Amino acid sequence: MTTENTPQPTGDIRWHEHAITREDRWAKQNSRGCTLWLTGLSGAGKSTIANAAAHQLFAGGVPVYVLDGDNLRMGLNVDLGFTPEDRAENVRRVSEVAKLMVDAGLIVITALVSPFEADRQRARSIFSDGDFIEVFVDTPVDVCISRDPKGLYKKAKDGQIPNFTGIGQDYEKPSHPELILDGTADTEANTKAILERLL
């Protein structure tokens, strides 16, 4: 699925088939790659849950990597803002990186607000069946505001951050996520739910 704003390869580019398939890599590493796409409001607990789950998996010898939205905006996506168009491009880039890492045999946990259903579905569409698990961290906006770990809600209310999800921009809840986590529950319970879904 693409949009008119999605960059497309030119006719001079061809997909190069590698001698080592992803099935070869998965078998060698005894690990099946997949992406856990954590979505929810800022302050919902996505990064905390992602890191806790990654820690548990890593301790168990599972190759895992967290793609955190803030971290990616310091490098790969430093040129993007928070308009709907930039958010769509942010999701597109992260999903492409995650897909490569899945092919390499990693469990990839993304922690991205990714507020729009169409963008998340577009991300899902580039993965093979079963390789994309959408996880909705369901946390009421008033709880997120009370946490406000980065002070972003206050800045948004003061007009310093336009297009801030939950204040100046809507969040579209996932229609059919594979997993819904209660963002007000303790991190241990949510981590356990993720591991049970994976293992």
Place of tokens 């078998």: 27
Q: For the chain, give me the number of helices (H) and strands (E)?
A: 8, 5
Q: Is 34 helix (H, G, I), strand (E, B) or coil?
A: strand
- Does 114 qualify as catalytic in the annotation? yes
| CB-based contacts of 149, cutoff 8 Å, min separation 6 | 43
Please list the alpha-helical segments (H only) found in 30-83. Answer: 46-59, 69-72
**Annotated catalytic residue: which of 31, 47, 95, 114?**
114
Q: Do 102 and 131 meet the contact criterion of CB atoms below 8 Å apart?
A: yes
Q: Do 76 and 46 meet the contact criterion of CB atoms below 8 Å apart?
A: no
Q: Do 147 and 74 meet the contact criterion of CB atoms below 8 Å apart?
A: no
Question: What does the angle CA 194 – CA 197 – CA 199 come to, to the nearest 5 degrees?
Answer: 100
Active-site residue numbers? 114
